[in-house]
Structure 1
Amino acid sequence: MSITGNLRQRLGPRKRAVQTMLSNKVPQFIGAANFFHLNGAFREEQAAVAAGKKKHLEGELDHSNRMFLRRSVHRIEKGLISQPRRDTFAADYIGRTVETAVSFQEILKQDDPGELKWASDVLNRYFEATQNSTDRRIGAARERWLSVGVKDSDNGVGDISGNACELAPFEQPQLSDAADRYQSLTAIAYHRRSVRWFEDKPVERELVEEAAAVGLTAPSACNRQSFRLLVVDDEDLRKRVAEVPMGTAGFSHQIPAMAVLIGQHRGYEHERDRHAIYVDGGLFTTGFILALEGLGLNTCCINWPELKSKNERIRDLIDLDSDERVIMMIAIGYGVPNQLVPRSHKRSVSAVVQWA
């Protein structure tokens, strides 16, 4: 006898009530159990996560996974600052890290010498710190690194402030004039509003890149920063891209530049991290839009709807790999002076912050 029949027999006089309950609740339960399989809204996300895992694994195996390198170097840095620091750590992945760093040398020399110097300086510091380790994996990786490791990695590269230095763990200095800096930051944050009407004036690319540099100071999962920012300023393409998301009707035609933030699942080997691209993307965006405001530009953050039709349409306009997902879009331009903007009153601190 079925579960439904057993319940009806046991409850006797309450048969009608139970029948009503079962007719309402059992389909809901069945639907919940199979929701991700039957509801097409999640299939594209699942496919992207699966594609990202595949790219991650293949890249790790052939030492071509840049996100694996970034994550590994970050993990090594955390080991270097541990208190107390162990003689042996990172042994299970140091060999693959060295091989990946070696394979990326020539690419990073051209593409991002700062990343190359960071990996090199941290690995050099690591092998100094683990000299007393008896783990043969570390010894083999040390020999490999010393034989083919990066030579003269400085190339005039410094930290994010442009100061020439070793790109490895360092002593954090106190922030000077912290109170004044806080006031400047809050002034920019309070001034920024979603602006939808822009002057017919091009957006300087160098200003967008300066703002992106601020956005990239945001924390991310193991410092992977597994996303890219596509800024569309071609007149024809930006109009078509701006029409795709919901919420741009009536003003999409006059947006001077549309930034598309694209997450890349390839940075993650586990499906448990499938939301990391959205967390990291949001952290990047906050600094990015505040920096744009400080540079005299205005922005409007545009939500991306998870609809198959929208995903298909945006893929017809811009190149997206199988593991890439649009996180959001950001309209950028010089706002028309004295325009009305929504007040968008924010929730109070007391309504949001709780203490336990």
Structure 2
Amino acid sequence: MKPRRDLFGKEYITETIDSFEAIWNLGKDDKANPQIKWFYDVLNEYFSTINLSHPVIATEEARFKRIINEMPSTAFKTQTAKSIPYHRAKQPVNNVNYAQFYDLCKQRRSVRWFLDKPVPRELIDNAILAANQAPSACNRQPFEFRIFDDPEMVKKVVQLPMGTSGYGHSIPVMIVLVGNLDAYFDERDRHVIYIDASLASMSFMLALESMDLSSCSINWPDIEARESKMHSFLNLKPYQRPIMCMGIGYPDPDGLIAYSEKRPLHQIRKYN
């Protein structure tokens, strides 16, 4: 909020402190977890700037202090950088210009022919770290990457989606992106896992390209029989849904890539 109001959040601060107390107690041995630090820092900043004269705010501030004092931690209190809102202008500016980024986007194409060459897990993890910087509703990050690089496991999972029968044998690493609906409590948000996972997937694929790896996004069919097979294969929870699959690896320089002409600008955008 700009400018910040003297009093805000009183309608849900009690629920927030309830959640904080549960997480703080559960994470008693994991106080270095950056998300617990973020939770702590935001609430600490909130109570240091809010008008404490309101009885609900005063009550919850006292409860927040009691939770901290009853189970103190030094895991991050000595850190000077706080996980609170900051001014974008004060952050380092990336020197990637538009032309370079556009070239990377054009370079990324669906590759279906890969080299028989192991993909280092470190590179996959690097791409996932980049993917996790993608925006997600309320920063819930309601997805996870299920990665298969064992050849026998890849042979099994590559058969679960449709459309892989001509090139599936070439895929060295198969990924299933899974959405977690337990991050939400209202039916209005049931579609959010698809939006957030898609945003993360695009960042993931671009990150792969920057490391000389390629990918092929594979549609997940909304067919009950295949849903059941994937749930069984991945041992998914009732609240989890497969979002999409993806084959990744080092591109075979002799393999052809389908030429995909994109629609012209005037067909895909309208102002006002």
TM over 0.5: yes
Distance in 2 of aligned mates of 1:327 and 1:111: 32
- The alignment status of 1:125 with 2:45, answered yes or no, reads yes
Distance in 2 of aligned mates of 1:256 and 1:246: 17
Partner of 2:73: 151
Partner of 1:202: 118
> Structure 1's 247 and 354: CA in aligned 2 closer, same or farther, altered over 3 A?
same
- The alignment status of 1:234 with 2:150, answered yes or no, reads yes
CA-atom RMSD in angstroms: 2.1
> Structure 1's 260 and 272: CA in aligned 2 closer, same or farther, altered over 3 A?
same
Q: Secondary structure of 1:300's match? A: strand
Of residues 285, 303, 328 in structure 1, which corresponds to 2:219?
Answer: 303
Q: What does 1:103-252 align with in structure 2 at a 5 Å threshold? A: 103-105=22-24, 106-107=26-27, 110=30, 113-130=33-50, 132-149=51-68, 151-154=73-76, 165-173=81-89, 176=93, 178=95, 180-252=96-168
TM-score normalised to structure 1 length: 0.70
TM-score normalised to structure 2 length: 0.91
Distance in 2 of aligned mates of 1:301 and 1:156: 44
The alignment-based identity, stated in percent, is 36
Partner of 1:89: 8
Contact map agreement 2:31 2:37 (CA 8 A) in 1: no
Letter in 1 for 2:59: A
Q: Secondary structure of 1:121's match? A: helix
In the TM superposition, residue 186 of structure 1 has moved relative to its aligned partner by 1.6
Distance in 1 of aligned mates of 2:27 and 2:219: 34
Contact map agreement 1:109 1:116 (CA 8 A) in 2: no
Q: Secondary structure of 1:87's match? A: coil
More helix by share: 1
Letter in 2 for 1:250: G
> Structure 1's 314 and 177: CA in aligned 2 closer, same or farther, altered over 3 A?
closer
Where structure 2 has 5 or more consecutive residues not aligned to the other structure, the ranges are none
In the TM superposition, residue 177 of structure 1 has moved relative to its aligned partner by 6.1
Q: Secondary structure of 2:88's match? A: coil
In the TM superposition, residue 101 of structure 1 has moved relative to its aligned partner by 2.1
In the TM superposition, residue 107 of structure 1 has moved relative to its aligned partner by 3.1
In the TM superposition, residue 286 of structure 1 has moved relative to its aligned partner by 0.8
Partner of 1:255: 171
Partner of 2:252: 336
> Structure 1's 195 and 114: CA in aligned 2 closer, same or farther, altered over 3 A?
same
Where structure 1 has 5 or more consecutive residues not aligned to the other structure, the ranges are 1-81, 158-163
Distance in 2 of aligned mates of 1:292 and 1:155: 36
Q: Secondary structure of 1:208's match? A: helix
Letter in 2 for 1:181: N
In the TM superposition, residue 156 of structure 1 has moved relative to its aligned partner by 8.7
> Structure 1's 113 and 181: CA in aligned 2 closer, same or farther, altered over 3 A?
farther
> Structure 1's 112 and 355: CA in aligned 2 closer, same or farther, altered over 3 A?
farther
> Structure 1's 155 and 262: CA in aligned 2 closer, same or farther, altered over 3 A?
farther
Partner of 1:79: none
Write the deviation string for residues 143-194 of structure 1: whole angstroms up to 9, x where unpaired. Answer: 121122263342898xxxxxx721100111276465x432322221110111
